[in-house]
Structure 1
Amino acid sequence: MPASAETLREAIMAAYATNPQLAAARARQEALAEAPEQARAPGRPTLSADAGAGYDRLGYGRAGSASVSAALPIWTGGRVPAAVRAAGEDVAAGAEDLRDIEAAILEGVVTAYADLLYNQQAVEVARVGIERLDAQVAEARSRFTLGQATRTDVAQLEAQRATVVANLADAEGALATAAAAYRAAVGQDAGALSAEAIMPAALPADREQARRAAETANPLLLRQRRTVAGSVARIDQARAERAPSVDMAGGYGRGVRLSGGDMRTYDSAASVGLSLRLPLLTGGLVPSRVRQAEAVNRAERFQLDAAMREAVRAVDAAWAALGAARARLDATVTGLAAADVALKGVRAEYGFGLRSTIDILVADQSFRGAQLAVASARADVLVAQARLLRAAGRLDVDAYG
């Protein structure tokens, strides 16, 4: 590949900056972040003003009034603090949801990159194979003219070439599909991708480290922990409905009347006082809400256990897949080197009449198959790395830095 080939990190940075799904998730999180402020509002003073004017036909003429009123909650029975805690936990859970959405999008970018990289290499393998077979067909025809080969030898090579041409057509179709998926994931058309293997800096060194990372950083697991904490706060919020509340309220008002050209001003009025609200009988509503909140809390705790198991399962599965992909890559690289030596040797021996056309065809097909196997294994390693990073809670924009 040329030195200016697009790297995986460049693709991730482009997707992180322009992906509309990620931008929408960020906007939803910003909206959710307003919940604690709204939960604090019932515990803060409020001020309002009212004014009115009218006309009647009973001889009173026109009249108007204006008033200002204020209220200051003194004691809310714990309603506001519990609501603020619940809203704060919702925001924290939403932040973990945003992290998981970001990781899912970046995993999709890595998958699209790996798929496109494989298909680019598959097209290149087919093109080079056609060029190699063109030379082989030309050589066979020359040998046929000299009486050193048969028409069957030429036909076999031409048939092999036709097969590779068909493979090229399939590869180009798959490449167009992969390019469209890449464009949707990254937000821009891809050039030649870099086949250089990238070792993510945040990749866990072993399975135990990956498990520990998942327990402390897996976004789905952390989200569920926040959800459990929020359900506890909602139990307190439901119980607070049984507690008394005390408010201080005050107001000031004044009215005027215009009749017969004369304006009369009424005396102003002001008031201030305390109000106590004590729920005595709620028809069973408050106890029912408390029981409901407690049941939801139990359910969320069970979900937390399930999320822990799923996090460990995802890490173990991703670690096993990565190990298999790495082993497959090592084996295919070794096989490619052997297939290259075999193809060169068979071609050299064919020139001395020690090998048949079938030997050439088998060696050529084995070499192309080994090239595709290496390309596929490299793509599998990239995808497996991304899945392990996501399961461990480490797949973010800096993971490939």
Structure 2
Amino acid sequence: MAKAGKYVTLGLALLLAASALPGHAQASRQPTQDLLQIWQMAIQRDPIFAASQAGRNAEQEKIPQARAQLLPYVTADTVAELNDRRRISGLNNSNSDRRALWALTLTQPIIDLSAWGGLKRAEYIASLADVAQANAYQDLILRVSQAYFDVLAAQDTLRALRAEKAAVETQLRAARQGFELGSTTIADTYEAQARLDLLNAGELQAENALQINQDELARLINERPGQLAELAPGTELPGPNPNRLSDWTHQSSNASLTVAQADLAAKIAEKQIDIAKSQHYPRLSLQAQTGSASDRGLYNTDGGPRSLNSSIGLQLSIPIFTGGEISSVVREQTSRLQQARYELENAKRQAVQSTQQHFSGVTSGLAQIKALQAAEKSSQASLQANQTGYEVGVRINIDVLNAQQQLYETQRSLSRARYDTLMSSLRLKASSGILTDQDIVAINQLLTDRPS
């Protein structure tokens, strides 16, 4: 009867520990938020992503600005003058006249290689902004997923610590009762009390970590997250598809967004050389002008003589010597092109290295999950055996405490491994440039409401 009573007490303690989790009492009243809902809020509210959108829109304006250098432009000029001439001696003999004129000028560039190069450069800059926006989109997916899983991991850690704490409290009560009955020594009580004190400190740290992770998620969606859908125990996580590293590395070296950005940066640097060289070439433009002038005053109402002049012609400008500036700019841009090409090569190598790392993270993570699941079953069997041995007197108190600690540490490691594996799968796709919101939908289907 004593043995059965202690197991009942242990079960009640575990149940109380589970019910003591934050938000448990409101679980039936609070709607559960899943990863897809959090993502939809973040894409509308995250300031970093909004800033990238604004930056992308600003860079798109480079194209019409560059195109304007090839289109005709019209200027209007007007002058109003008052001339007062006086003799030096006495300053009393003066002669004054007024003059007004206006001119309307039309200029149409005909040959301007620098402007054409500037238009092509603007198109590259706009494309670079599009890639940067796509990169920010992928980055938001990773940041939202990481923050979401960090909250779940912190909840699992706190839940396991409280369950372990409840089990140790039960063991402490058993040790005290055994000491009062004379069947155990005071050392059993001290051992259980020391373990409980450590768990109390760990619980405070876990609560703080949960608070910090919730704050990070709240920063993304601009509100406190509610009850989150969780990854059910035993959920089978998908492996990489295709399951060949060579396919992923080939994809990343050609389609990674970081590689695309570096490639466009090299093209921009190459076009800068063409623009610099075009400063040596002549420029031809059509210019037409019309205007009138009056030498009878600004407010002449007598209908005095006026002139109306119109002209049209071609203007040719040939740079002859600029002090060596153009040659210096060409050398500068040539060096910058070499720099951009080295950075492109580094981006390709970095993309391949990141792909290898995340592919290994997924495959090894799946293997680690299986190993930890087996370890969890073994730890549960070990704890049950040690508890039984303690009841019959063949195991001591520290054996039970160590078995409890091993079980709950295994559960915490298993929880962390599952979330890390999911994040590695997302980062693997991001390094290959194929991460989309459909991956959020796929992971969201693995989540479920935690039962009350």
Instruction: Give the drift of 1:331.
Output: 1.3
2:230 is paired with a residue whose SS is: coil
Q: Quick one: distance in 2 between partners of 1:399 and 1:381?
A: 14
The letter for the 2-side match of 1:301 is R
Letter in 1 for 2:72: P
Q: Which runs of 5+ in 2 are unaligned?
A: 1-23, 85-93, 442-452
Q: Which of the residues 68, 71, 75 maps onto 2:111?
A: 75
**Contact preservation (8 Å) 2:237, 2:366:** no
Q: TM-score, normalised by structure 2?
A: 0.79
What is the aligned counterpart of 1:221 among 259, 263, 270?
A: 259
Comparing 161-170 with 94-103, greater Cα deviation is found at 94-103
Q: Which amino acid is 1:50 matched to?
A: D
Change beyond 3 A, Cα 1:193–1:258: closer
Indicate the SS of the match to 1:246. strand
1:48–1:6 Cα change, 3 Å: same
1:99-110 equivalence runs, <5 A: 99-110=134-145
CA contact (8 A) 2:253 2:349 kept: no
Give the match for residue 250 of structure 2. 212
Cα separation, 2, equivalents of 1:262 and 1:198: 98
**Per-residue Cα deviation, 1:297-344 (whole angstroms, up to 9, x for no partner):** 233222222221111111112222333322222211211122122223
Residue 71 of structure 1: how far off its partner (Å): 0.8
Shift of 1:79: 2.1
What pairs up with 1:21-40 in 2 under 5 angstroms?
21-40=48-67
Q: Report the counterpart of residue 271 of structure 1 in structure 2.
A: 311
| Equivalence for 1:170 | 205
- C-alpha distance in structure 2 between counterparts of 1:202 and 1:273, whole Å: 68
What amino acid does structure 2 have at the position aligned with 1:290?
Answer: V
Match of 1:391 among 431, 435, 441: 431
Aligned with 1:262: secondary structure? coil
Q: Which stretch has the larger CA shift, 44-53 or 3-12? A: 3-12
* Selected match of 1:65 from 82, 101, 108: 101
Residue 46, structure 1, aligned to residue 84, structure 2: no
Distance 1:279 1:14 in 2: 57
* Cα distance in 2 for residues equivalent to 1:103 and 1:359: 48
State the number of aligned residues: 400
Q: CA RMSD in A?
A: 2.8
Which region of structure 1 is more displaced relative to structure 2, 134-143 or 375-384?
134-143
Check conservation: 2:168, 2:401, Cα contact below 8 A: no
1:158 aligns with 2:193: yes
Query: Paired residue for 1:7?
Result: 34
Query: Does the alignment pair 1:330 with 2:364?
Result: no
Change (3 A) 1:281 1:145: closer
Normalised TM-score (structure 1): 0.88
Q: CA contact under 8 A between 1:336 and 1:370: conserved in structure 2?
A: yes
Counterpart-to-counterpart distance in 1, 2:147 and 2:207: 16
The alpha-carbon deviation at position 100 of structure 1 amounts to 2.8
Do the aligned partners of residues 199 and 216 (structure 1) sit closer, same or farther apart at CA in structure 2, a change above 3 Å counting? farther
Counterparts of 1:280 and 1:395, CA distance in 2: 53
Contact 1:105–1:185 under 8 Å retained in 2: no
Separation in 2 of the partners of 1:280 and 1:198?
Answer: 73
1:252 paired residue among 290, 305, 318: 290
CA contact (8 A) 1:48 1:69 kept: yes
Runs of 5+ unmatched residues, structure 1: none
1:249 Cα deviation (Å)?
0.8
Structure 1 partner of 2:87: none
Q: Following TM superposition, by how much is the alpha carbon of 1:286 offset from its aligned partner in structure 2, in angstroms?
A: 3.1
Q: Tell me if the contact between 1:16 and 1:397 (Cα under 8 Å) persists in the aligned partners.
A: no
Give, in angstroms, the shift of residue 29 of structure 1.
1.5
Q: CA deviation at 1:266?
A: 0.7
Between 210-219 and 277-286, the greater mean CA deviation after superposition: 277-286
C-alpha offsets along residues 40-61 of structure 1, whole Å, 9 cap, x if unaligned?
A: 1121100122233344556656
SS in 2 for 1:399: helix
Task: Tell me the residue number matched to 2:400.
Answer: 360
Q: 3-state SS of the aligned residue for 1:400?
A: helix
> 330-339 or 139-148: which moved more?
139-148
